[in-house]
Structure 1
Amino acid sequence: MSTWFVLHRIREMLREKAPQMLGNEKMVETDVTTYVGGKEKNKHFNKRRPLDDKSLTNEGKPYKAKKTIIGIIERNGKVALKYVSGETTENMVEFVKTHVPQDSTIYSDEAPAYNQLKKTYRHDNVKHSLSIYVEGQGQVHTNTIESFWSILKRGLYGVYHQVSEKHVSRYLDEYANRS
């Protein structure tokens, strides 16, 4: 058996231990998404998108966009992550509703999708577009999840260099259990 195979079996076990509910007693932060994938300017010319047809690469193959990841993190607690096909309101709100009980406190950025959270949660946000990163005497921020994104990306890029779409969820489970 190869080491790669054994590590994937361990990551599968970590999926079973992933937290189901967050925010019972702690404040929760969520971020629209983070994207995992190489920078366009660093790609080989034939892998880049041409200016005229954004759906194809320069060599004529279908363009693969970066991987979209949604995250929720408790302050001083656990994290839940999910790889999704795209950044949609439905994906983001359903993920929060699945992992955070009603009447919990949630902080997010000003993404319009999170306006729906005010119906079910104590929700407040920061306005990054106005260069506001902390409000409400230091309580309202998304610094915890932003810090986690940094750790995740540095780990994926630094250790694994690239992660296939097939296995990205397993790597997310690994990093969620490291927090």
Structure 2
Amino acid sequence: MAEAYLLEEVSNFTTKYYADNLPSVHNPPPRYNVAENESSLSLFQGQLGSASGATSKFLAYEEWRTIMLYVLTNLKETMSYIEEFIHQFWRRSRDPTSNEIDTLLKQGAGSGKPDFISWFKKKIDLTEVFGMEVDNEDARDEVDDAKDLQILERLHLDSDDDIPPPSDNLHDYVDMHDIDDETHEPAIIDDDDYF
């Protein structure tokens, strides 16, 4: 019994030197025993855990967009992007009212202009691909060869309306490796080659 008491005292004393993620007398587990969140977004800061059981729900597309817009407009990390979007698409000489800002964010500026969610997704995707910020006009100007078309396909763009079609010199998504070097025409594929 004395040995057990001694072992407990020694382990309590030495827990001061344990790593922070190991629960001990000097480093008790959090109240709800929730793992630390490593995200740097303000939305996920704090020790919030689920208060009850979770249930799955499939959202309609419009519900998802409403929720996504709510989340994006309430993150302090996206405020500079919202300001940039409003500055880019607001065309009147006066500042927009809060209702006009809401409409602009939800519906875009009209005439095929993107809403905030689509614009933000494209901006973030282009930033990741190119390693720099590229605005929509720059992206439109560069869609004239197969390499750019492949990049756009990888970006999973929401709609083709925002970007003009590729230049006429592309043969409807023909793989450039299938082009005959001598005639510069797509290779003729014989069905007998595959059967």
TM-score (norm 1): 0.22
More strand, by proportion:
1
Hey, which of these two has a bigger chunk of helix by percent? 2
Q: Which has the higher contact order (CA 8 A, sep 6+)?
A: 1
